[in-house]
Amino acid sequence: MQASRARLFKEYKEVQREKAVDPDIQLSCDDSNIFKWTALIKGPSETPFEGGVFQLAFSVPEQYPLQPPQVRFLTKIFHPNVHFKTGEICLDILKNAWSPAWTLQSVCRAIIALMAHPEPDSPLNCDSGNLLRSGDVRGYQSMARMYTKLAAMPKKG
Amino acid sequence: MDSEEDMHDANDIESLDDDFYSGETEDAPMGFYSDYDDDADDYFDDADYSERTESSRMEQNYTVLKESDIRQRQEDDISRVSAVLSISRVASSILLRHYNWSVSKVNDAWFSNEDRVRKAVGLLDKPVVQFPNASELICGICFETHPRSWIESAACGHPYCITCWAGYIGTSINDGPGCLTLRCPDPACGAAIGQDMINLLVSSEDKEKYSRYLLRSYIEDNKKTKWCPAPGCEYAVNFDAGSGNCDVSCLCSYSFCWNCTEEAHRPVDCVTVAKWILKNSAESENMNWILANSKPCPKCKRPIEKNQGCMHMTCTPPCKFEFCWLCVGAWSDHGERTGGFYACNRYEAAKQEGVYDEAEKRREMAKNSLERYTHYYERWASNQSSRQKALADLQQMQNVHIEKLSDTQCQPESQLKFITEAWLQIVECRRVLKWTYAYGYYLPEHEHAKKQFFEYLQGEAESGLERLHQCAEKELQQFLTADGPSKEFNDFRTKLAGLTSVTRNYFENLVRALENGLSDVDSHGAACSKTTSSKNVGGSSKGRGGRGKGATLTSGSCRITDDNYWSCEHCTYANAKSDTTCQMCQQQRR
């Protein structure tokens, strides 16, 4: 418990310092609970998520960093490795390939990388995965772009 | 049924030959079995029944290993690799584990491409990062600054404080045997963490666990060794493939089949045994739940419950098999060429229509054939418990009674071996008899001649065994309680030894007949089943519970109870007469 709190506090301070360094990630800690974090990440450029801002929810276990944090998308996203309804993410480093050397910040970076490089062979959203697997990149991109517009961009007017 | 007569005659002749076998046996290492069959040629020719009772002869193709033997072998293998490759013992242990403890595979791989092996296994030549002059370093996990003495690194040099190391390694050890392939916490670094680091950094409890996993890995990852499956037994068995006999006997006196690790089940084959065991537990809620909620890993068969995530499943170490949850096929087959998920989606649709729902079907069938099943199960189970009792009696005999009897009857203990042998025969026969009930359950209903022949053999064997058991149990009593030598003791010896050998012959016949699939009756069996099935296609699974033990030549009409139904040969479901295919399993009516 103490170790995880100390480590999260370190990360908190680092985040405050690094804010300007990585403009794509804005991590913030819940005011009353250091084990709850949210992040706003920018959709990577040259992807259908470009221009969107996606919110992630982190739930950090007491055994952190020996155990990985649980992360899910709060913003709806059409992506092969993200569950369309729950926002659950299928990413190896959040499951069996976790290492305590990862931080919340680096997890965000890994998720941004996942957005740019979907892994259609392990789909959590089969419809999305199947579009890519069948080579319909245009179909996939337009669906993903539509949901980015609908859910991840400020409403016009 | 000429063959039965022949068989009977053969029994009598053979039993005369075999009568005088006792008293000359060497002490087998186990002190438990003895070799009473001198006819070594039989051993290879027709997989003679006695081969499995004479466990400790030189033909034995397996070795039982105690924990000290296992450690010794493991140490020897590590030393050998360490010497040949000129690497540390820790490194050679990591290498061996990676190659499933096969020294030759390690050598082959290493000498064909050392660099690739080093990379795959995580054995680094030199550090990736170095901090030669730093007096303080930042731990890569807790991000605190620590004095140099608090920092440890694997061969790669990535610095972590000893507290974080202990947490990292401890978590991994408590997660299971995956800790044996632990790597440096740095995600980009693959440096292996060996036992030296473990011993340096974690609690003695975790060290103990790790060393236990390492020992287990030596047995479990090695294709030639397996643990004895008996509860509480800590021995392992090293098996050299080659001979057809898969039954092995552990030092704990438990016999099991090397193939399927169920208890020894000769003459019944592994598939039948697996079906039977599944069936036995299918009645329990537990199995129902497992069937309904889990699937076995297609590779290691451990039941897996899916509680979240995508369909790409990875079994827990050491199996680590990757498969698709929907079709239970290997994940590696889910490439573009198989149509991948489209195929699996179709499976899902078919499942919803009930085409693939085998678990449901199996439960349904179990209900239908429950009565028939109960008949066989009761007899299977009572032979099982009878065998347990006989084992206990045997122990008692060896530990207490033999010595006493030797005193009262003034006979040297070596002259009393016939009693132990009788009991060993009883134990063995109970085991065989037990499994013949599983065999009988799966014997196809329409094969009347086979069924009759089988039941005849089984009945003969069973009544012979009852006589022997009776004699060994009851008639021995008077000599145990006697005050001095009695005249009748020699008669008793002759009788018991005779019964032992006769019973052994009965069982040899039974085992031999079952192992060749009751082929003796094949010719007229076909004709017989044709006539009966064309006339009497009726008969549900009901109404055969009343058949007693040891029933021999019953008439072939037990299937007919009601002319309005026919029972499916495949699943035993009782179908209406008008149906041409089984309503339960879609098999054609024959």
Q: Report pLDDT digits (tens) over B286-326.
A: 555 665 667 777 787 777 777 666 667 788 877 888 887 76
pLDDT at B352 over 70: no
pLDDT score recorded for residue B215: 93
A53-59, strands of its sheet edge to edge: A25-29, A36-42, A53-59, A70-73
pLDDT at B31 over 60: no
Report the residue from A6, A97, A124 with minimal CB separation from B310. A124
Q: CA B20, CA B357: separation in Å to the nearest integer?
A: 58
Q: What is the mean predicted confidence (pLDDT) over B392-398?
A: 87
pLDDT score recorded for residue A156: 63
Establish whether B319 is a catalytic residue: no
pLDDT band for position B95 (cuts 50, 70, 90) = very high
pLDDT at B39 over 70: no
> What secondary structure, in 3-state letters, does B448-480 show?
HHHHHHHHHHHHHHHHHHHHHHHHHHHHCHHHH
For CA atoms A99, A105, A108, A110, the dihedral sign is negative
pLDDT at B534 over 50: no
pLDDT score recorded for residue B520: 73
Q: What is the mean predicted confidence (pLDDT) over A58-64?
A: 92
B164 touches chain A (CB under 8 A): yes
Residues of A noted as catalytic = 90
Cβ atoms of residues B426 and B469 within 8 Å? yes
Q: How many helices (H) and strands (E) does chain A have?
A: 4, 4
A1 touches chain B (CB under 8 A): no
- Name the residue among B520, B522, B499 with its Cα closest to residue B510: B520
Q: What is the pLDDT of residues B215-263, one digit of tens each?
A: 999 999 988 899 999 888 999 999 887 666 788 888 888 889 988 888 8
For CA atoms B535, B540, B541, B545, the dihedral sign is negative
B227 touches chain A (CB under 8 A): no
- Cβ-proximal residues to A34 (8 Å cutoff; 6+ apart), any chain: A5, A8, A9, A12, A60
Q: What is the mean predicted confidence (pLDDT) over B64-84?
A: 94
Q: How many helices (H) and strands (E) does chain B have?
A: 20, 15
pLDDT score recorded for residue A20: 61
Q: What is the mean predicted confidence (pLDDT) over A72-95?
A: 92
pLDDT at B562 over 80: no
The ipTM is 0.84
Hey, what are B67's tokens? 């924990």
Q: Which residues of A touch B185 (CB under 8 A)?
A: 99-101
pLDDT band for position B56 (cuts 50, 70, 90) = very low
pLDDT at B183 over 60: yes
Q: Which residues of B touch A133 (CB under 8 A)?
A: 336, 340-341
Contact A133 B168 (CB under 8 A): no
Highest mean pLDDT among B79-88, B321-330, B396-405, B458-467: B79-88
Cα dihedral B257/B262/B268/B271 (nearest 10): -110
pLDDT score recorded for residue B347: 52
pLDDT at B485 over 90: no
Cβ atoms of residues B315 and B299 within 8 Å? yes
Which residue bears the tokens 């040259």?
A46
Kindly report the pTM of this predicted structure.
0.62
Report the residue from B163, B310, B342 with minimal CB separation from A130. B342
For CA atoms B104, B84, B117, B102, the dihedral sign is positive
Contact B141 A121 (CB under 8 A): no
- Cβ-proximal residues to B107 (8 Å cutoff; 6+ apart), any chain: B81, B84, B85
Which residue bears the tokens 């086979």?
B450
Q: What is the pLDDT of residues B358-386, one digit of tens each?
A: 655 554 555 455 567 777 877 888 888 88
Cβ atoms of residues B483 and B496 within 8 Å? no
Q: What is the mean predicted confidence (pLDDT) over B76-80?
A: 95
pLDDT at B537 over 50: no
Locate all alpha helices (DSSP H) within chain A, ordered by sequence.
2-18, 104-116, 126-133, 137-152
- Cβ-proximal residues to B352 (8 Å cutoff; 6+ apart), any chain: none
Hey, what are A84's tokens? 């369309």
Q: Which residues of B touch A97 (CB under 8 A)?
A: 187
Average pLDDT, chain B: 75
Rg (CA), chain B: 31
A70 touches chain B (CB under 8 A): no
DSSP state at residue B416: G
pLDDT score recorded for residue B22: 39
| Single-letter code of the amino acid located at A154 | P
A81 touches chain B (CB under 8 A): yes
pLDDT at A108 over 90: yes
pLDDT band for position B279 (cuts 50, 70, 90) = confident
Which residue bears the tokens 């360490």?
B82
Q: What is the pLDDT of residues B188-223, one digit of tens each?
A: 888 999 999 999 999 999 999 999 999 999 999 988
Report the residue from B144, B164, B311 with minimal CB separation from A100. B164
Q: What are phi and psi of B250, to 5 degrees?
A: -80, 165
Taking only residues 92 to 131 of chain A, the set having a beta carbon closer than 8 angstroms to any beta carbon of chain B reads: 93, 95-97, 99-102, 121-124, 126, 129-130
> Which residues of B286-400 form beta strands (DSSP E)?
294-296, 303-305, 312-314, 322-324
Q: What are phi and psi of B88, to 5 degrees?
A: -70, 160
